[in-house]
Amino acid sequence: MTTTTKAPAKSILLYLIDPKKGNVITVIRPDLKNWKPDLTEKTKNYLKSLEKDYWKDNLLLPEKEAFKIIDAADDKTYNVGKWKQCTEAHFFDMLECLPPCNWQRLDNKEIFYVSEAETADIHQHLKRVWKKYYSWSFRRYGYKNIIDLI
Q: For residue 6, is it within any domain?
A: no
Residues 108 and 130: beta-carbon distance below 8 Å: yes
- pLDDT at residue 142 in the model: 54
Averages of pLDDT over each 10 residues, the chain, 150 residues: 41 80 80 59 69 69 86 89 94 92 92 88 91 90 51
88 and 120 in one domain?
yes
Give residue 132's pLDDT: 97
How many domains are there within the chain?
2
Beta bridge mates, 23 = 18
Pairing of strands 84-86, 59-62: unpaired
Containing structural domain, residue 110: 84-149
- Please tell me the predicted confidence (pLDDT) of residue 133: 97
In a domain, 4, yes or no: no
Say if residue 61 is exposed, middle or buried (CB neighbours under 10 Å; 0-12, 13-18, 19+): middle
Claim to verify: residue 88 and residue 116 sit in the same structural domain = yes
Q: Which residues pair with 95 in a beta bridge?
A: none
Q: Helical H runs in 78-109? A: 88-97
Is residue 1 a part of any domain in this protein?
Answer: no
**Class of residue 135 by CB neighbours under 10 A (exposed 0-12, middle 13-18, buried 19+):** buried
Q: How many Å apart are CA 115 and CA 60, to the nearest integer?
A: 33
The residue among 23, 56, 77 that closes a domain is: 77
Q: How far apart are CA 129 and CA 108, in angstroms?
A: 6
In this structure, the answer to whether residues 90 and 139 fall within a common structural domain is: yes
The last residue of one of the domains, among 25, 50, 77, is 77
Residues 92 and 56 in one domain: no
Q: Is 139 among the domain residues? A: yes
> Is residue 142 within 8 Å of residue 94, measured between CB atoms?
no
Taking every pair of C-alpha atoms in the chain, what is the biggest distance, in angstroms?
Answer: 79
